[in-house]
Amino acid sequence: MTVVAVIPARSGSKGIPGKNLVNLDGKPLISHQIENALAADEIGRTIVSTNDENIARAAEEHGADVPFIRPDELADDDVPVIAVYKHALEWLDSHEKTPNFLVGLQPTCPFTRPEEIDDAVSTLRETGCDSVVSISKVTETHPYRSYIVDGNRLRPFDDITVDRPIQRQDRPTVYGLTGAIFARQPAVLREWDYDTFALGDDVRAVVQNDEQALDIDTPFELRLARALVEYEDPQ
């Protein structure tokens, strides 16, 4: 069984310039997710999809394959990452061998654990489900307390906001996608177009804690990640 991990890493980040190559714990950010993929028992090959030669060089130095350079039309800000995963699958279909599963791993989620990647793949294999995604518990603003700002006024968000008081312990537990892991059946990914999310009908989950779910998109999140790697648990 062939399982390929694809790590999308383009240049041109606006929030953190050169984000995928910024220093985290003495090495480029992208290297952490590469190492996580290489340490996962279920991953047979780790590919980085990039449009940038410097990122490609760093990826290869840390053990990933860069068998192609991503087309420029797939490196714009408004291109959904799933389009990059589909492009990688189509490249494998045409040039090498179609994998049994394709696992998308975000380079901005450096604290993903190899065991979580293995759990996602084993769930995909053992259940035959369409996809497995990483999620984390919503611990900040609960959907029941979410509003839309209309001018200078708040209004309820569709039918989700609940105006009556509900104690925290009585609210249902909800989860959100972390973006760290998207493991899919190739057939599900091939069906994607811009009107769908391409997860299929049977979607399973791997639950991450707050640290593992950290996605570095802002300078604050980068500072938080650097603080985490410097922190030594007194336990």
Q: What domains are there in the chain, each with its CATH number?
A: 3-132+177-230 (3.90.550.10), 139-173 (no CATH)
Q: Are 160 and 144 in contact (CB under 8 A)?
A: yes
- Whole-number pLDDT of residue 233: 54
Q: Is the pLDDT of residue 234 over 60?
A: no
pLDDT category of residue 157 using cuts at 50, 70 and 90: confident
Alpha-helical (H) ranges within the chain are: 29-39, 53-61, 81-95, 114-127, 186-190, 219-230
Q: Is the pLDDT of residue 166 over 60?
A: yes
Q: What is the pTM assigned to this prediction? A: 0.90
> 82-110 pLDDT, tens per residue?
999 999 999 999 999 899 999 999 999 99
Q: Which range (2-16, 62-76, 161-175) has the least confidence?
A: 161-175
- Whole-number pLDDT of residue 216: 95
Q: What integer is the mean pLDDT of 160-187?
A: 88
Q: Which range (7-16, 23-32, 64-73) has the least confidence?
A: 7-16
- Whole-number pLDDT of residue 168: 78
Q: Is the pLDDT of residue 24 over 80?
A: yes
Q: What span, in angstroms and rounded, lies between the C-alpha atoms of 115 and 130?
A: 20
For the chain, how big is the Rg over CA atoms in Å? Answer: 19
- Whole-number pLDDT of residue 54: 95
Q: What span, in angstroms and rounded, lies between the C-alpha atoms of 164 and 160?
A: 12
Name beta bridge partners: 181: 105
